[in-house]
């Protein structure tokens, strides 16, 4: 099956959803493709309840709510969603429009392609001491904080996700212990201070060296530098050790890469004709990886793509208030 569209957006996370709105606002037909079965990217898959604070004018909003708002904004222009399908191949023929072939065999012929697939596919770094307890008290995500209500929770990690999850669970859990193998956290100092103030027990220079229980996890065994090993109660263990990302098939498309990122120019063009990139996937000198930056990048990409498809168009799309 072949689908024709003006803009094919590969990646239906926040940046891709905003790109679908920008394209729809310009009257362009849009197809959104994502390997995940739902829109929202990492936010929906990993931390839907996490507070998002780097969107201008929004002091804080749960990830789930932000995704719902972005999806509703894009839905005004009826983009086609092709979810649960990976973009595996980029093809060209006599037609200048590129064709993206999906994992189910669907071919999407687009006037332009905008890559917004973030870090690509991602898998959690395992907790070596307790992988056999996965699904029996050990998890790598917190899609529903209420599932940990009343539990003794042990969170392993020193990044923002570990600290954010400890803050989210502190009001619900019986206890929260945050274990980090170093003395210094990668997370923002303000978040660590807030966790302490919320009653989270923070254990540094420590590792979880084992988990034990009967049918489910009941205890976590800690090893702290310079101290005797100890055991803490643990009904839930959340390993927030980061993720291993992979560009997947995109790595073979002939894009100019810097590590796992795609190099773009000031118009967000990649080195391939009619292919743009925006958001965490895109790379250029001076890049700042914030969601708010991704929104600006995808607006730049879509509007430059619109002009490439029709040189008679103005690059500036006009203000949304003027269409009301």
Q: Is 66 exposed, middle or buried (0-12, 13-18, 19+ CB in 10 A)?
A: buried
User: In the chain, which residues fall in CATH 3.50.50.60?
Assistant: 2-122+243-323, 126-239
Query: Could you report the per-residue pLDDT of 191-212, keeping only the tens digit for each?
Result: 899 999 999 999 999 999 999 9
Q: How far is CA 89 from CA 69, 250, 276, in A?
A: 31, 8, 15
Alpha helices in 77-181 (DSSP H): 160-169
Query: According to the annotation, is 21 in a ligand binding site?
Result: no
Question: Is residue 324 pLDDT above 60, yes or no?
Answer: no
pLDDT given for residue 243 in this prediction: 80
As a whole number, the mean pLDDT across the chain is 93
* Mean predicted confidence (pLDDT) in 302-309: 97
Query: According to the annotation, is 160 in a ligand binding site?
Result: no
Question: Is residue 123 pLDDT above 80, yes or no?
Answer: no
Query: According to the annotation, is 280 in a ligand binding site?
Result: yes
Length in residues, the chain: 324
pLDDT given for residue 209 in this prediction: 96
Q: Please count the other Cβ atoms lying within 10 Å of the Cβ belonging to residue 203.
A: 19
Query: According to the annotation, is 77 in a ligand binding site?
Result: no
Query: According to the annotation, is 122 in a ligand binding site?
Result: yes
Query: According to the annotation, is 173 in a ligand binding site?
Result: no
The CATH superfamily label for domain 126-239 reads FAD/NAD(P)-binding domain (3.50.50.60)
Query: According to the annotation, is 300 in a ligand binding site?
Result: no
Q: What is the pTM of this model?
A: 0.77
Q: Which helix (H) or strand (E) holds 295?
A: helix 291-309
First to last CA, the chain: 37
Q: What is the rounded distance in angstroms from the CA atom of residue 257 to the CA atom of residue 267? A: 17
Query: Could you report the per-residue pLDDT of 266-284, keeping only the tens digit for each?
Result: 999 999 999 999 999 999 9
pLDDT given for residue 36 in this prediction: 87
Confidence of residue 129 (pLDDT cuts 50, 70, 90): confident
Query: Could you report the per-residue pLDDT of 47-105, keeping only the tens digit for each?
Result: 777 788 889 999 989 888 999 999 999 999 999 999 999 999 999 999 999 999 999 99
Confidence of residue 160 (pLDDT cuts 50, 70, 90): confident
Query: According to the annotation, is 47 in a ligand binding site?
Result: yes
CATH placement of domain 2-122+243-323: 3.50.50.60
CA-based R_g, the chain, Å: 22
Reading the block at residue 75, the tokens are 């839905």
């Amino acid at each position: 099956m072949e689908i024709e569209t003006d803009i094919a957006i590969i990646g239906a996370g926040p940046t891709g959803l905003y790109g679908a709105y920008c394209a729809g606002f310009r009257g362009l037909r849009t197809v959104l493709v994502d390997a995940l079965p739902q829109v929202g990217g990492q936010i929906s898959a990993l931390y839907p309840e996490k507070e998002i604070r780097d969107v201008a004018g929004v002091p804080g909003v749960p990830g789930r709510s932000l995704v719902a708002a972005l999806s509703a904004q894009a839905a005004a222009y009826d983009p086609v969603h092709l979810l649960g399908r990976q973009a595996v191949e980029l093809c060209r023929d006599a037609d200048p429009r590129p064709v993206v072939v999906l994992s189910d065999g669907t071919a999407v012929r687009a006037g332009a392609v905008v890559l917004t697939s973030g870090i690509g596919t991602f898998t959690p770094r395992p907790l070596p001491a307790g992988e056999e307890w996965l699904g029996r008290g050990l998890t790598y995500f917190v899609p529903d904080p209420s599932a940990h209500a009343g539990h003794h929770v042990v969170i392993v990690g020193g990044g923002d996700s570990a600290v954010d999850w400890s803050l989210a669970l502190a009001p619900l859990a019986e206890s929260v212990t945050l274990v980090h193998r170093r003395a210094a956290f990668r997370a923002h100092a303000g978040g660590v201070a807030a966790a302490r103030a919320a009653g989270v027990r923070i254990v540094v220079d420590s590792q979880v060296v084992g988990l034990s229980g009967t049918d489910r996890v009941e205890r976590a065994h800690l090893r702290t530098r310079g101290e005797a090993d100890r055991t803490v109660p643990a009904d839930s263990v959340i390993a927030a050790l980061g993720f291993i990302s992979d560009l997947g098939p995109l790595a073979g498309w002939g894009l100019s890469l810097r590590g796992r990122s795609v190099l773009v120019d000031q118009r967000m063009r990649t080195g391939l004709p009619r292919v743009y990139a925006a958001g965490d996937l895109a790379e250029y000198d001076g890049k700042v990886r914030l969601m708010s930056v991704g929104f600006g990048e995808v607006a730049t990409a879509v509007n430059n793509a619109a002009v490439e498809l029709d040189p008679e168009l103005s690059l500036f799309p006009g203000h949304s208030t003027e269409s009301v």
